[in-house]
Amino acid sequence: MKKKLTLLIFLLPFVAFAQTQYKDGTISIDFGKKDKKQEPVDTPKPEKFVYPSDEEEAEAETPKQRREKKKASTDNKEDFDFKRDGLFKGLFSVGLNACQIDGDRQAGYNYLGFQGGVGVMVRYHRFLSTSIEIHYSMKGAKTRIVPNQNASLLQLYQVQLDYIDIPVSLLNVHDKKLVMFSLGLTPSILVRVREINPDGVDATVQSNYQARKRFDLSGFAAFGFVIKQQFYLGAKFSYSFISMRPAESGTKTNGQYNNVINFRFMYILNGIKKK
């Protein structure tokens, strides 16, 4: 018992010293348990910015902003495709000419002829281009056959004029990759003539036959649709500026002119695509 009392007296100073606190110049003894951990002082934390999702941004946009954004995206895509497809494009066309000759005392687009050729298009702008082609084109005129017509009054008049055409589209206007409108000139060289008079006789072998001019110049306007940027379906109207020979008596024109409506299909071969 004495040993335990002696040990307690010996350890008492160490226990008192361990619980002693110095604060504001005074000494205090804390006989309670001392917290080993102290609560950290609360400090304000910066708020973390959360970026809105695409759905939230789409809901926040007004209809006008959506339209403008969609239009800008489409324009950029079209501009990119135009540059990527290259400057030059090959053209292969085939079509049908519905023809008449003004000033020959016949009326109507009764003569049908073949037209076909190749060319190249230079696409220098998203909306604009120019092109040049070379065609073999059959033009002419023909008397309209009336059913049950009296054989004595039947006229067999027919003119076939085969040309080498070089149509030059001075301006092609492209709209939204779907529509193309063209204006241009077509110089032509006459390479073959066949003319049958109303009596069914070959007029070119007669001594009084009046030959036509070999050179012709016409203007044209064309309109068509482009499908998948490669297939073109359209129509073209062309009219001669130069008279090929004097008009027949009884007509209102001062000469004979080619008047042609062309319906054609064209394949557009894109150039080497740029990466």
* Ranges of the chain whose pLDDT falls below 50: 34, 80
Any domain includes 170: yes
Residues 6 or more apart whose CB falls under 8 angstroms from that of 37 comprise none
Q: Count the Cβ atoms, other than its own, within 10 Å of residue 265.
A: 15
Residue 13 lies in a domain: no
**Cα Dmax for the chain:** 166
| Residue 239 lies inside a defined structural domain of this protein | yes
Distances (CA, A) of 31 to 17, 24, 124: 11, 19, 94
- The reply to whether 246 falls in a domain is yes
- Domain containing residue 263: 87-269
Tell me the per-residue pLDDT of 6-44, one tens digit each, with 9 for 90 and over.
666 666 655 555 555 555 555 555 555 545 555 555 566
Query: In this structure, is the dihedral angle defined by the CA atoms of residues 142, 148, 153 and 154, taken in order, positive or negative?
Result: positive
pLDDT for 80 equals 46
What's the confidence (pLDDT) of residue 12? 62
Is 80 a member of any domain? no
Residue 21 belongs to some domain of the structure = no
Number of structural domains the chain divides into? 1
Q: Evaluate whether residue 36 is within a structural domain.
A: no
In a domain, residue 68? The reply is no
pLDDT digits 0-9 by tens, 52-81: 565 555 556 667 676 776 665 555 555 546
Contacts of 88 (CB under 8 A, 6+ apart): 120, 121, 122, 123, 271
| CA dist., res. 235 & res. 153, Å (int) | 35
Give the CATH number, domain containing residue 187. 2.40.160.20
The model scores a pTM over 0.85:
no
